[in-house]
Amino acid sequence: MRRTPGRPKGLAVLALGVASTLTLAACGSGEDAGGGNALPSASQSLDAACPTPGVIPTDKTFTYWSMWTADEPQGKLLQKAFDCFKKTAGVTVNVQWQGRKGYTQTLAPALNTDNVPDLFDQDVSKVSAAIMQPGGTQSVDDVYDMKVGEGDKTVKDVLNPSSFDFAENKDKEGHKFLVPYILQSSAFWYNKDKIKDFKAPTNTDEMFALFDKAKPNAISQDGDIPFYNMYFFTQFAERYVGAGGLSKAASDKSGQAWKTDPGFLKAAQLTARLNPYFIKGWNASKFPQVQQRWADGESSYLYVGTWAPSETREYLAKEGGGTKINYGSFQIPKPADATHDTVEQIPIGFAVTKKAKHADAAKAFTAYFLNKTLLSGIPAVTDNLAPRADVPVPDDLKDAKAAVDDTKKEHVLQYDGLDSLAGGNWESEVFDQLDFDLLNGKITPQQFIDGLVSKQAAFWKSNH
């Protein structure tokens, strides 16, 4: 569901509008979620009584530029929160529903003016690359100490620490700049009714054994989406080098770091092994054709984010015929010779602009939205994960939630933050084409590593 700033040669070019549509579909259907779980329905969540705020700000208004549209599930849930905040705290939220392009097309160009919102939202990598790095955000450290309206519980008390306490959520002075309200991850998805006696693999050998049983159409992969292709190498590599290892290697001006740690070559070798398992036509399709083929039962596994159930369910509903999927998922397991048991995540959250005129009210609302009554709407209304461990999720997402809530796992920002490096240009100019060629079997794992070294050295020489 992420942004696509550029496309390497040989890949189908998607217009930005298509990428935005991708994001829109990926972020929730608004249907009553799941079956056989403890969640309220979407309508019950939207009709629930307003909680009492933990903080009543002095300011009685603030401006919010939203990444959602008013008719999306997220927009409907936020509008309920605005109405509740008006009713309980006397604060009016002046919202502009800008959609996914707002942070680059409207907010980023406005940073040098006084026409900026008090509050905005996006995923942490986008906020970092487009707004924080140019100096457009202020610290939200104080928000984490604000009460959420559940007795003495603060924001810091109710959120999973791994959802906010990581290096990529720190500005140049070391202050946090984003408060999460949605947490996304990724996984291999399968239909429990199609794959009987499934046992989650505990290492990559077991994983490839699963794929062997499912040949010739083991995996659906929409190869025209570079950030979908990016999942595999980064996931494998993280298990060898841990959180921050990929980002550190990609920041090496000489590029030689890719050869220093043997884990990168091992990750490339595992990535190359996937090619025989991809469904025919994966590399010449246009999203979401191959994903839909998985939903139709043509392949066994699909690797995408935690929006997979809502997106494929919506497709099947439009197709008619009553086809349903009993969703299950599993994480890419740790290779036997790797040392890091990792899980990727990407928080979406609120940030406050540097020039905010009503920062106190914006911050008070941020804390209010994390109240359990309101935040429970994230899974119930939008079919997404919330960054609170005590918020139930649809059955479809239970496996993914268990992984991101597992305190024994090493949590890594999606792609280890490579997609925001140099404003996203490192990915498009250095990585994407090499990655596509590796998955296609056009280059060897060693050629992939050598290509990263040479292209990265040239990239940093021309950019810095």
As separate numbers, helices (DSSP H) first and strands (DSSP E) second, the chain gives: 21, 10
Distance, in Å, from the CA atom of 72 to the CA atom of 78, rounded to the nearest integer, reads 10
Q: Which DSSP string corresponds to 307-374?
A: THHHHHHHHHHHH-S-----EEEEPPPPPTT----EEEEEEEEEEEBTT-SSHHHHHHHHHHHTSHHH
Closest CA to 157 of 168, 140, 144, 175: 144
In sign, the C-alpha dihedral spanning 404, 405, 409, 411 is: positive
What H or E segment, with its residue span, contains residue 26?
helix 16-26
pLDDT of residue 464: 64
Total Cβ atoms within 10 A of residue 188: 24
Per the structure block, which two tokens stand in for 380? 């119930």
List per-residue pLDDT tens for the chain, 464 residues long: 433 333 333 333 333 333 333 444 444 544 444 443 457 789 999 999 999 999 999 999 999 999 999 999 999 999 999 999 999 999 999 999 999 888 888 999 999 899 999 999 999 999 998 899 899 999 999 999 999 999 999 999 999 999 999 999 999 999 999 999 999 999 999 999 999 889 999 999 999 999 999 999 999 999 999 999 999 999 999 999 999 999 999 999 999 999 999 999 999 999 999 999 999 999 999 999 999 999 999 999 999 999 999 899 999 999 998 999 999 999 999 999 999 999 999 999 999 999 999 999 999 999 999 999 999 999 999 999 999 999 998 899 999 999 999 999 999 999 999 998 998 899 999 999 999 999 999 999 999 999 999 999 999 999 86
What was the pLDDT predicted at 69?
94
**Bridge partner list, 97:** 66
Q: Label residue 164 left, alpha or beta by phi (over 0 means left) and psi (-120 to 50 means alpha).
A: alpha
Domains and CATH numbers, the chain: 16-184+346-407 (3.40.190.10), 186-341+416-463 (3.40.190.10)
Alpha carbon separation from 38 to 31, 128, 362, 395, 401 (Å, rounded): 15, 35, 31, 9, 14
Dist. CA 204–CA 186, nearest whole Å: 17
Q: Residue 44 CB: number of other CB atoms within 10 A?
A: 14
Of the chain, the end-to-end C-alpha distance in Å amounts to: 30
**Residue 25 is encoded by which pair of tokens?**
């579909």
What per-residue confidence (pLDDT) applies to 18? 35
CB atoms within 10 A of CB 175: 14
